[in-house]
Structure 1
Amino acid sequence: MKPACSYAATHAASLADPAAFWLAQAHLLPWHTPPTEALSRDANGFYRWFRDGELNTCYLCLDYHVQHGRADQPALIYDSPVTNTRRTYTYAELLDRTARFAGGLRAIGVGFGDRVILYLPNVPEALIAMLACARLGAIHSVVFGGFAPPELAVRIDDAQPRAIICASGGMEFDRVIPYKPLVDEAISKAIFKPAHVVVLQRDFVPAALQPGRDLDYQDLLQAAPVPAVPVPATHPLYILYTSGTTGRPKGVVRDHGGHAVALRFSMAAIYNLEPGEVIFTGSDIGWAVGSSYIVYGPLLRGCTTVLFEGKPVRTPDAGTFWRLVAQHNVRVMFTAPTAIRAIKKEDPEGVLARQYDLRGLRHLFLAGERCDPATYDWARELLGVPVVDHWWQTESGWPMLATLVGLDDMPAPRAGSAGHPVPGYDLQILDEAGQPVPAGTTGLVAVRLPLPPGCFPTLWNDDARFREAYLAPYPGYYLSGDGGYRDAEGYTYIMGRVDDVINVAGHRLSTGEIEEILAAHPAVAECAVLGIADELRGQVPVGVVVLKDGQTIGEEALEKDLVASVRHRIGALACFRRVLVAQRLPKTRSGKILRKTLRQLADGEAFTLPSTIDDPLIIDEIRGDLQRRGIGRAFAPDQPT
């Protein structure tokens, strides 16, 4: 049922007394032990939610609905055009498989507090594995299938999983990607060795099993079902790794209690979805969006979720998303602007969309990177429904800015803006001294503490980094790392990262990590990686390198070498394809490379040279190099130098 309160009243209440507001929301869930205390602090002084409560997320997602009349309702629709497979699972069927797989995990030694890494494509078995871990109180960590072995090895060493659950392979368009060899290589590189690898065999790419270590996924499904284990609300549900500016990934921790409360609230207030209605989230389970709004959010609300294995184009065409919406009676669709841009590129007139009956769709939500107004307007005119661009991060786990279509008197969405602060978020735009700035002034996007339920309480095994990266810069605030501004009418605009993490089609990648790879080449003396604007992906990384004296390698040959190195270390998802050889890099007198200035130069933006630049003539040199290689956008002749 749609909440009776207006947006303004709800948001004000959530800030006036956060503990009372969220305790009332918590009591809408079936707890094993209901919390009596909403907000507290742990031994580190970090805020925690519902510390004296006990529950189990898997029980809330499955058992509760089966026990209360939804046993025969579809819980999961699996649609895989790349394998020509479609299956529907009712809540009862999904519960049976999850409880049995949990029994299989328990039989191989997985229990409360153990970590399990999932390296799987968007298949039902991935959701079952996630929920089975939650059922046992084990902590899962989904690693995006496109990550290369060195990246997976880092996560193995950090999480130290008892088991890895992987598919034998995945499929992208008409290309088979074997997963099992990547997992084997990652384990060989990792210091920590998991006890077991559970392999989901797929017919098109069978994998050999290592005796004594590897197990077949289907064998674990033959175990007797086990009940859900009540866990403390503050117990970790999962770890999700996100890139850091140092190149070392940060393990974002999500807890059972706050996560469940926040996602259930968001499904009603932000997305206005009733139990039984259908949501399609065009994302991957390796992203926060996938965990929150393919898996947990819809099932907590008693909705039907569509799990899609494929791409928005070429599977088989740019109409595949619209087919899903029409065929499965989707009410809310959620995807990234990148997907809409890809569809628009291949079907600019929207011919394929008009082949389907899309009248059941109520809203299109976008997140992952800023949606440009042209794409926003194209989608809105094509679909004839409100398009909602909203903003959040892996760290928050659910939206911080949005147009909450489930609340009354909500200001309408606006092109270019991510909307207004979601209840629970006291979002501020700060200057570098930590003071709020006037409307229309760009600054640092921060949230006054405490963060609401659902946000990360800390980083996995790294409280010091959590404090240093997010809390220490501006005491009393969570620093998001993004810049933006708020206009006179209260709409907030997110302008992008203020650090050296770039956003490639929703993947946050560290420029520092890519620079380490480039710098390892024997011909490279120094380098800088820029995230330059890209019409399809939001940003793509470009390397600017200076060669060592005496090196004679050609620019194209070097580019080929470096592209291959990045692909091997990070994966194709980095979209690293261009390298520019420069005579020198622009730096301050203290030696700091002016990456922001380089990015602005490549993007064709106006900029002011820092007064600390060592030699302004370098900018003209690199401008000529960029034009020579056709990298970036056209440069206006009157740009400052």
Structure 2
Amino acid sequence: MTGYKEVYEDWRNAPNAFWLRQAEAIDWIQPPKTGLSKNSDGVHEWFADATVNTCWNAVDRHVEAGNGNRTAIIYDSPVTDTIEHISFTDLQSRTARLAGALAQRGITKGDRVVIYMPMVPEALVAMLACARIGAIHSVVFGGFAANELATRLDDCTPKAVLAASCGIEPTHVVHYKPLLDQAIELAICKPEFCLILQREQERATLVEGRDFDWFDAQKDAEPVACVPVEGTHPAYILYTSGTTGNPKGVVRPTGGQLVALSWSMRNIYNVQPGDVFWAASDVGWVVGHSYICYGPLINGNTTILYEGKPIGTPDAGAFWRVISEHKVKSFFTAPTAFRAVKRADPRGELLKDYDLSALELVFLAGERADPATVEWAEEKTGKPVIDHWWQTETSWSIAANPAGIELLPIKPGSPTVPMPGYEIAILDEAGQILPPGSLGAIAIKLPLPPSCFTTVWNAHERFEKSYLESFPGYYETGDAGMIDDDGYLYIMARTDDVINVAGHRLSTGAIEEVIADHPDVAECAVIGAADALKGQIPVALYCVNEGVSRDPSEVVSELVQMVRDRIGPVAAFRQATPVDRLPKTRSGKILRATMVKIADGQPFKVPATIDDPAILDEVTAALASLGYPRLQEALEPDAAISS
């Protein structure tokens, strides 16, 4: 058998030939003869000479191959008490008819369509219908604030919006349509029409002449065939938060996405056509695009669309029920979801009620997977728990454990090794490569592999400035970490989260790793707060497991000693305080940068992606209990270092 090292070297020795071979798994209209090329902006592109259609590869070809009766989507919605199985034949019919309705209203290849929907089958149908006719979709997380939605409408100028009347949370209904109406009112660019999926939990008021009922609009529509598009044609635009506060529209090329996602399903997640795959995410995020919709369906898998939470729908056994009931083979979630489950059920009592025998692999991504969470999940499930690392910009793993090729030894805290296509370097501030074990900026040598973005929508100069300018010849990931002597990568923090304590560069992630290892701690966040003497000092906010009622001062004392023992006095760690919740985005990322601004008394904008803005008040109060923000005297430039 060929192992990881052989596959990686195969790519390294002949990158173009490697990816052209992987492209053979795709059903092309005009197969690529050239793998890598450069466009007029000098940016590397993949499969520019090919033509293809994503919807054909994700849906129609499986029907043509005689697998139309195979289940394409399992819709599992504990919040509506619904389970629905949708076959590839049924999905083809729904997709072709919606595509026909869009085409009937003038949507053609290259037009943009915004999708503003919850986790319902119609969301995937909408994405696939756009791909079917070559329209470029932009999914905006359902329930996003009106002004944020308006910003995206103005940036991508869609002809149409496909939306639902509402979303459903465990405790309440989220009113989507009023948010959409307000966004359209705010936006300079007004869509020509909106199709609204009326959910029985809340029916929306439709604006005459602009809004049409989802199903009524399709009654007279003729199903349409798949439209050929170029390999470099944008499949979608997905907005990610920018450091300036203005969202960046990541543009995903069609051909590269097909090839890379197809390769990843087999070689990273180790699933074959017909296997059940579940990514517990949302269609509003890149995971939802790559591994709820496109990746599994391209590979002929059954994908699970879950409208629920890891806890509270109805309890912390929700994940185990879905895995058991639907015989999930490969499961993908965020570390923050497991931390929520661990906090609510630290002994894993609820897991005993379910059969996980079909489950082979568990994957984590989206937030740094601390070793304590990985080890807890491994102990409770008895399965390999694999961290892997990637970004909205790449759409698939930069570093992973390639279980479909060879399951490498797992090192908790590491997403393992680079995947084919990615040559990773750890760089210092001058762009020089650092030796193994050194903490620095993580960069990827150009060119990037298939499926990685090639520009930012309507802002190519911003693409170059944000990602390519700092380290010429490299893509700057914005993450900091190190590579060990075995070639394993460690993601320690965002570059901004590497703090300077009296001249010593320390990773907040390394300190979090120690704190998370405390038996009473469910999850934590460490930030670098400004300090007049040392420049910055680490401050920790942590949540305790359910049932823990110890004196917080005892826990803090133990945490301080643990950090002193494992990292050393150089960390200058003395301050920590418990909180009920940590501020997070809806995708589970902890908002450390916002907490730093609170601690330092700096003005900040409430992030559009925040799960609950009220949590920031709790964080402000917690930091105030430690004396932040502090009025600090200015020191001479070298005073902090010399001290």
The residue that corresponds to 1:276 in the other structure is 274
Letter of the structure 2 residue corresponding to residue 418 of structure 1:
P
SS of the residue aligned with 1:352?
Answer: helix
Q: Does 1:144 align with 2:130?
A: no
Q: Pick closer, same or farther for the CA change 1:570–1:441 going to 2, 3 Å.
A: closer
Q: Distance in 1 between matches of 2:392 and 2:610?
A: 20
Q: Distance in 1 between matches of 2:290 and 2:600?
A: 43
The residue that corresponds to 1:94 in the other structure is 91
Deviation of 1:570 after TM superposition, in Å, equals: 5.5
Is the contact between residue 143 and residue 175 of structure 2 (CA under 8 Å) also seen in structure 1? no
Q: Pick closer, same or farther for the CA change 1:547–1:411 going to 2, 3 Å.
A: closer
Is the contact between residue 598 and residue 629 of structure 2 (CA under 8 Å) also seen in structure 1? no
**CA deviation digits over 1:329-385, x for unaligned, max 9?**
100000000100111111111111111010110000000011111111110011111
Is the contact between residue 143 and residue 179 of structure 2 (CA under 8 Å) also seen in structure 1? no
Q: How does 1:170-209 map onto structure 2 within 5 Å?
A: 170-209=167-206
| 1:468 pairs with one of 453, 465, 469 | 465
The residue that corresponds to 2:598 in the other structure is 544
User: Deviating runs (4+, > 4 A) in structure 1?
Assistant: 500-503, 530-538, 545-548, 580-589
Q: TM-score with structure 1 length normalisation?
A: 0.82
SS of the residue aligned with 2:138?
Answer: strand
SS of the residue aligned with 2:257?
Answer: helix
Q: How does 1:36-435 map onto structure 2 within 5 Å?
A: 36-222=33-219, 223-408=221-406, 410-435=407-432
SS of the residue aligned with 1:264?
Answer: helix
SS of the residue aligned with 1:202?
Answer: coil
Q: Distance in 2 between matches of 1:224 and 1:95?
A: 13
Deviation of 1:531 after TM superposition, in Å, equals: 10
The residue that corresponds to 1:19 in the other structure is 16
Deviation of 1:27 after TM superposition, in Å, equals: 1.8
**CA deviation digits over 1:406-460, x for unaligned, max 9?**
113x422211111100111111111111111111101110110110001001111
Deviation of 1:611 after TM superposition, in Å, equals: 3.1
Deviation of 1:572 after TM superposition, in Å, equals: 3.5
Q: Pick closer, same or farther for the CA change 1:583–1:88 going to 2, 3 Å.
A: closer
**CA deviation digits over 1:80-116, x for unaligned, max 9?**
0001111000000001000000001111111110001
Is the contact between residue 482 and residue 497 of structure 1 (CA under 8 Å) also seen in structure 2? yes
Letter of the structure 1 residue corresponding to residue 638 of structure 2:
S
Q: Distance in 1 between matches of 2:114 and 2:276?
A: 28
More displaced stretch, 128-137 vs 410-419: 410-419
Q: Does 1:576 align with 2:627?
A: no
SS of the residue aligned with 2:90?
Answer: helix
Q: Distance in 1 between matches of 2:486 and 2:270?
A: 24
More displaced stretch, 539-548 vs 46-55: 539-548
Letter of the structure 2 residue corresponding to residue 279 of structure 1:
F
Is the contact between residue 143 and residue 176 of structure 2 (CA under 8 Å) also seen in structure 1? no
Deviation of 1:539 after TM superposition, in Å, equals: 2.5
The residue that corresponds to 1:611 in the other structure is 638
Q: Distance in 1 between matches of 2:315 and 2:369?
A: 22
Q: Pick closer, same or farther for the CA change 1:612–1:211 going to 2, 3 Å.
A: farther
| 2:451 pairs with one of 433, 450, 454 | 454
Q: Pick closer, same or farther for the CA change 1:210–1:75 going to 2, 3 Å.
A: same
Is the contact between residue 146 and residue 573 of structure 1 (CA under 8 Å) also seen in structure 2? no
Is the contact between residue 363 and residue 386 of structure 1 (CA under 8 Å) also seen in structure 2? yes
Deviation of 1:475 after TM superposition, in Å, equals: 1.0
Q: Distance in 2 between matches of 1:331 and 1:588?
A: 58
Q: Distance in 2 between matches of 1:22 and 1:119?
A: 34
Taking only aligned residues, the RMSD between alpha carbons, in angstroms, comes to 2.6
**CA deviation digits over 1:382-421, x for unaligned, max 9?**
111100000000000001010000113x422211111100
Question: Which consecutive residues of structure 2, in runs of 5 or more, have no partner in the other structure?
Answer: 499-507, 510-526, 528-535, 544-581, 583-587
Q: Pick closer, same or farther for the CA change 1:383–1:572 going to 2, 3 Å.
A: closer
Q: Pick closer, same or farther for the CA change 1:220–1:610 going to 2, 3 Å.
A: farther
Letter of the structure 2 residue corresponding to residue 291 of structure 1:
H
Deviation of 1:221 after TM superposition, in Å, equals: 3.2
Is the contact between residue 149 and residue 182 of structure 1 (CA under 8 Å) also seen in structure 2? yes
How many aligned positions are there?
554
Q: Pick closer, same or farther for the CA change 1:26–1:244 going to 2, 3 Å.
A: same
Is the contact between residue 366 and residue 589 of structure 2 (CA under 8 Å) also seen in structure 1? no
The residue that corresponds to 1:438 in the other structure is 435
SS of the residue aligned with 1:64?
Answer: helix
Q: Pick closer, same or farther for the CA change 1:40–1:531 going to 2, 3 Å.
A: farther
Q: Distance in 2 between matches of 1:61 and 1:583?
A: 52
Deviation of 1:532 after TM superposition, in Å, equals: 6.5
SS of the residue aligned with 1:499?
Answer: helix
**CA deviation digits over 1:125-166, x for unaligned, max 9?**
000000000001000011112421111111111011101111
Letter of the structure 1 residue corresponding to residue 598 of structure 2:
V
SS of the residue aligned with 1:316?
Answer: coil
